[in-house]
Structure 1
Amino acid sequence: MDTPALSLFGGPTGPEGPPVCSGKGCRKPAEWVLVWNNPKLHTPDRRKTWLACEEHREHLSQFLGVRGFLKETVTLTDFTG
């Protein structure tokens, strides 16, 4: 069985579809990139990403923000990661 290729964001690429939202159980196409870092685990220059659809952007941003992890939120089309 072939395993689909994964994009930079962990979602399938090619015929399987575009990157999808990181919200639990969500399979909607991603529109936003939430760039974050856990300072207890990562060096200051390390950046990790979650993807979000419009519906989950605020919830995921708040989750990361209250923990002090969220660095920036950009549209998927503007992300240069």
Structure 2
Amino acid sequence: MDLTPDETDDPICNAKGCTEPATMAVRWNNPKIHAPDRRKVWASCPGHVAHLENFLQLRSFWIDTVPLEQADRR
């Protein structure tokens, strides 16, 4: 998920099947298809942060996790 200014102020967790409000931004990059400075963002509820980070870390895609309000919304 790329966060854009058009999105609602109440994003939902991007974990499959989750409908909880997102509070964290799990930022990642696939170096095979994205420029090095590109950051993709998955919104996450507190209960899915570790799961999403682990998924991305296994693929060496995870960059960092920050509070959603600190995520770059460009």
Shorter chain as denominator, the TM-score bin is: 0.7 to 0.9
1:37 to 25, 29, 32: 29
Q: Distance in 2 between matches of 1:44 and 1:64?
A: 16
Kindly state the Cα deviation for residue 33 of structure 1 after the two structures are TM-superposed: 0.1
Q: What's the RMSD between the two structures over aligned residues?
A: 2.1
Kindly state the Cα deviation for residue 79 of structure 1 after the two structures are TM-superposed: 2.3
Matched, 1:62 2:57: no
Matched, 1:8 2:32: no
Listed as ranges, the gaps of 5+ residues in structure 1 are 1-6
Kindly state the Cα deviation for residue 9 of structure 1 after the two structures are TM-superposed: 8.3
User: What residue is the counterpart of 2:71 in the other structure?
Assistant: 79
Aligned amino acid, residue 61 of structure 1: E
| Matched positions, count | 71
1:28 is paired with a residue of what secondary structure?
coil
Q: TM-score, normalised by structure 2?
A: 0.84
When Rg is computed on C-alpha atoms for both structures, the one with the higher figure is 1
